[in-house]
Amino acid sequence: MTRGGMESVEVFTAEGKGRGLKAQKEFLPGDVIFAEPAYAAVVFDSLTHVICHTCFKRQERLHRCGQCKFAYYCDRTCQRAAWLNHKNECSAIKRHGKAPSENIRLAARILWKMEREGSGLSEGCLVAIDDLQNHVDSFGEEEKKELRADVESFLEFWPPHCQQFGMQFISHIFGVISCNGFTLSDQRGLQAVGVGIFPNLCQANHDCWPNCTVVFNNGKIELRALSKISPGDELTVSYVDFLSLSEERRKQLKKQYYFDCTCEHCKKQLKDDLMLAVKAGESKPSADTVKEVIQLSKDTLEKINKARMEGNYHEVVKLCRDCLKKQEPVLGDTNIYLLRILSIASEVLSYLQMFEEAADYAKRMVDGYLKIYHPNNAQLGMAVMRAGVTHWHAGLIEAGHGLICKAYAILLITHGPSHPITKDLEVMRVQTEMELRMFQQNEFMYYKMREAALKNQKIQVMPEPSNENAPSLFHKKE
């Protein structure tokens, strides 16, 4: 079955996995398989005043809806585009006295759309909302309690003059949001800013080593090919970051998505040996020493989280340095506990403008990531980009330019040339190439000019380290 703009994919029954998507034609790395607008989407509660409610872009000055005083927009164009979806919400917020939480707002938007268009297949959708999985039967006690609270809050908010839906169907919609709510990121892809329902994307099954990736670009979700895909191949995406042991990924998938992962990488525990690597050579550490250092790493990561929450970045650096001293003689270069500390250390030191030390850690982190991640992984591309910028700021122009070029090649595939972050990277690539040529012609003059430029213009501060990981694919409560 194919519909509007979805001719290149087909829904099929995947053995042991329920429905899935498969390709109807060949795709090459970087090809857009389909782009899908949200069936319904909302901005997170904490960001409603800084993110446009139509295009999900972060803006300095936003226009507020004069009626409900809740919704914000870039300009009149975004406000007009939002009116069809905001009209019922606007009057319901005024009647209710305040805006409810993001889950309630999203459920209401889904049901208002059903009221307008009916509950069958929408234009361009392969599957109706009624037929999406809700996994309510698999909910634990805590989740059931949250579901009941959401349904109660929804019934208080839902206007009496609107079409009335049964309790069971409302519960189904909340179950769908819980299992299939997709995280929307800001225009640069760096921060999760909202949640939406994309019925076609929901059909793509998980694989820890997928052949596709998903990116939010220009108001739509794009499913992009990461490797060559032949007609008839299943299209898969990863619901979790690969940088965890297979057992940890399987636990997370079972807890959050209610299935047992049977992908090749989990079954054969591929790459686990790299992620648990210990120092090789004559003085190989004992099993007890390794266990001790891994426990120390886990304890340190908890202390680091606490210090980051308090904004105490100098304490974070101290904790990282102390931990690295203990890790270095014991853990291998690809060990995930070492890589996690290197990642935090490089990010925080960059923020504190201690670029040379940050660059050293970033380089080691990237070298480890390159041995673990799929070569076209979006998170790998972003990490390589950050490492490149850190080297550039440290005045290490050759390494900086090389890393920025490598990141650009990855992001062309994962994000595409029109994505804002790829465009930013292209500007950096051109700039570093020009500086590299100058450096190669006259090293002394290059450093003189760099020094003068830094005196006149304060170096661009790296963003404040976030305690959040990169936006994950689906919006799930941990």
> What is the DSSP pairing of strand 32-37 with strand 205-206?
unpaired
Q: What pLDDT score does 467 carry?
A: 55
Average pLDDT, integer, range 468-476: 58
**Residue listed under structure tokens 């990121």:** 185
Q: What pLDDT score does 5 carry?
A: 63
> What is d(CA 187, CA 220) in angstroms, rounded to the nearest whole number?
11
SS3 label, residue 402: helix
> Given a cut of 90, is residue 14 above it in pLDDT?
no
pLDDT interval class at 97 (50, 70, 90): very high
DSSP bridge pairs for 212: 225
Q: What pLDDT score does 372 carry?
A: 97
Q: At what angle do helices 397-414 and 420-441 cross, to 10 degrees?
A: 150
Which 8-state DSSP code applies to residue 46? G
Q: What pLDDT score does 30 carry?
A: 96
> What is d(CA 159, CA 5) in angstroms, rounded to the nearest whole number?
35
Q: What pLDDT score does 1 carry?
A: 36
pLDDT interval class at 60 (50, 70, 90): confident
Long-range contacts of 289-296 (CB under 8 A, 24+ apart): 289/330, 290/330, 290/331, 293/326, 293/327, 293/330, 293/331, 293/337, 294/331, 294/337, 296/323, 296/326
Q: At what angle do helices 378-393 and 355-372 cross, to 10 degrees?
A: 160
Which 8-state DSSP code applies to residue 34? E
Higher pLDDT: 31 or 467? It is 31
**pTM, rounded to two decimals:** 0.90
- For the chain, the maximum distance between any two Cα atoms, rounded to a whole number of angstroms, is 78
Residue range 416-446, pLDDT digits in tens:
999 999 999 999 999 999 999 999 998 888 8
> Given a cut of 70, is residue 31 above it in pLDDT?
yes
pLDDT interval class at 192 (50, 70, 90): confident
What DSSP assignment string belongs to 237-261?
E-SS-SSS-HHHHHHHHHHHH----
Residue range 116-175, pLDDT digits in tens:
887 767 777 888 888 888 888 888 899 899 999 999 999 999 999 988 889 999 999 999
Structure tokens at 121: 């297949």
Q: What pLDDT score does 307 carry?
A: 95
Which 8-state DSSP code applies to residue 444? H
Q: What pLDDT score does 4 carry?
A: 47
SS3 label, residue 372: helix
> What is the DSSP pairing of strand 182-185 with strand 18-23?
unpaired
